[in-house]
Amino acid sequence: MTGTGYIRPTGEDLMKVILWLALAVALLLPGTRVTRAAGNPPLPACLTAVIGTACLGPAQMRQVYGVDSLLRHGITGRGKTIAIIVSFGSPTIRQDLHTFDREFSLPDPQLDIRAPLGTGKDTDPGWMGETTLDVEWAHAMAPGARILLLTSPVDETEGLQGVPQFFSLEQYAVQHGADVISQSWAATEDTLLDAKGRAMVAKFHRFYQDATSRGVTVLGASGDGGTQGLDLSLKKVFPYRTVQWPASDPLVLAVGGTQLARSISGWGGEIAWPGSGGGFSKLYGEPSYQRSLPAATQRALHGQRGLPDVALDAAKQSPFLLYRERWILAGGTSASTPVWAGLIALADSEAKHDLGSINAPLYRLAASSRYHRDFHDVTSGSILDPPSLESTGGPLHAAPGWDPATGLGSPHAASLLSDLVKAAGAAH
């Protein structure tokens, strides 16, 4: 389904809008429409609001997660490439990014837009929004990195729809210099459990093995429906807990969502965002890096891959500001994933080489005395279950250490990335 971060506000997609609202999919709030001919569009008041609708721009997000000191030391992602994979793209992305950069005093990046499989629709509101969110926020975190935007002529929904095309684009990304691949798209695992689905999943896993062996880090959004997953009809959710793929692949860094609190003193304090995807994979057994988690967690994992691995703000109550012909508020794990992709580009830049799969080093740091220095351990809140689920244990909750709502937590970037570089280096 589209990236997991955007509601499609068009008449022909009304049923999807209604369903995705029911799933608590990330919010798109209309921003203040501006007259661009008059010059720089005024920034909306939500950036400075203390009560009511408050939002975060690049400066606020960098401050919350400790990115500022890295940028001040010249660690910007320069020389690194973040590949973003979407359907259709956005015909206004280059001008929109320029406006976004101008308003937030960011340098325009090298934005390389390619459609190696050909072009599809000229416009698709959902994918236009997804494209804008991914590009602007990966760039906001790693302003020196090149952005390689690859567009598919086919819509990706559930099951195998659009997935072969995305596979070709991700191969192309690695062949054309990607250091980080940001995947905001996702499909419910349970739509891929037949023979054809499993064959494609295995094909992707082999590709991830090759990509990570070359130093590429692959990220995937955990989804915006909690443990709810759409079936192939796109009209119903499975009546039991599901997780999203490719985030469930053990070679992919699965990124979940949190909700930030706003007070007079600023943004800070996080709880689990109810829409964040999480849970336990049906496709993959427990990876070796999760076997160090405590006995109580092992009982919950039951020998399966747990996700997400990490998290970051994704909530409609603490939305991201972006520009797509007007100012818009957005959220979802489609927001937290490109932010994490930007952070990995910074880590590659600091290391002066690509880190590849970082899951094992992250879990080693979490098991060490550095955990609370490197992560904010989110310990409250829970994620949504399907309405029909009769669960005796209740929803999946955030808890100390790793949990299936927020993973290891959100980053204290300055210390985490430095420690990650050391931990990844020690493993080689």
Tell me how far apart the alpha carbons of residues 61 and 268 are, in angstroms, rounded to a whole number.
10
Nearest-CA neighbor of 280 among 238, 251, 252, 308? 308
Q: Taking all residues of the chain, what is their mean pLDDT, rounded to a whole number?
A: 90
How distant, in Å, are the alpha carbons of 87, 156, 235, 244, 358 from that of 232?
Answer: 18, 12, 8, 14, 32
Looking at 122-270, list the stretches that DSSP marks H as alpha helix, in order from N- to C-terminal side.
125-141, 163-175, 195-213
pLDDT tens profile 311-330: 999 999 999 999 999 999 99
**Which residue is associated with the tokens 């970051």?**
312
In this structure, the number of other CB atoms found within 10 A of the CB of residue 54 comes to 19
pLDDT tens profile 132-141: 999 999 999 9
Tell me how far apart the alpha carbons of residues 335 and 351 are, in angstroms, rounded to a whole number.
25
Res 422 pLDDT > 90? yes
How distant, in Å, are the alpha carbons of 148, 246, 321, 348, 410 from that of 101?
Answer: 17, 31, 12, 23, 25
User: Which neighbouring-strand residues pair with 73?
Assistant: none
- Supply the pLDDT for residue 120: 83
- Supply the pLDDT for residue 388: 80
- Supply the pLDDT for residue 9: 31
The dihedral through the CA atoms of 127, 132, 138, 144 has a sign that is positive
Under DSSP, the state recorded for 382 is B
Tell me how far apart the alpha carbons of residues 96 and 381 are, in angstroms, rounded to a whole number.
35
- Supply the pLDDT for residue 121: 80
Instruction: Give mean pLDDT, residues 233-239.
Output: 94
- DSSP for 394-411 reads -S-B--SSSBTTTBT-EE
Res 6 pLDDT > 50? no
Tokens representing 44?
Answer: 């909306």
- Supply the pLDDT for residue 427: 60
Of the listed ranges 15-24, 271-280, 413-422, the least confidently predicted one is 15-24
- Supply the pLDDT for residue 266: 86
Tell me how far apart the alpha carbons of residues 106 and 133 are, in angstroms, rounded to a whole number.
16
User: Which neighbouring-strand residues pair with 181?
Assistant: 83, 218
The dihedral through the CA atoms of 387, 389, 393, 395 has a sign that is negative
Residues 6+ away with beta carbon under 8 Å from 51 = none
Residue 347, judged by CB atoms within 10 A of its CB (0-12, 13-18, 19+), counts as buried
Tell me how far apart the alpha carbons of residues 336 and 284 are, in angstroms, rounded to a whole number.
23
Where does the pLDDT of residue 5 fall: very low under 50, low under 70, confident under 90, or very high at 90 and above? low
pLDDT tens profile 69-112: 999 999 999 999 999 999 999 999 999 999 999 999 999 999 99
Can you give the pTM of this predicted structure? 0.92
Res 183 pLDDT > 50? yes
Tell me how far apart the alpha carbons of residues 170 and 252 are, in angstroms, rounded to a whole number.
13
> How far from chain centre, in Å, is Cα 332?
8
Res 33 pLDDT > 80? no
Bridge-based pairing state of the strands 327-330 and 29-30: antiparallel
Res 59 pLDDT > 90? yes
- The angle that helices 125-141 and 93-103 make with each other, rounded to 10 degrees, is 40
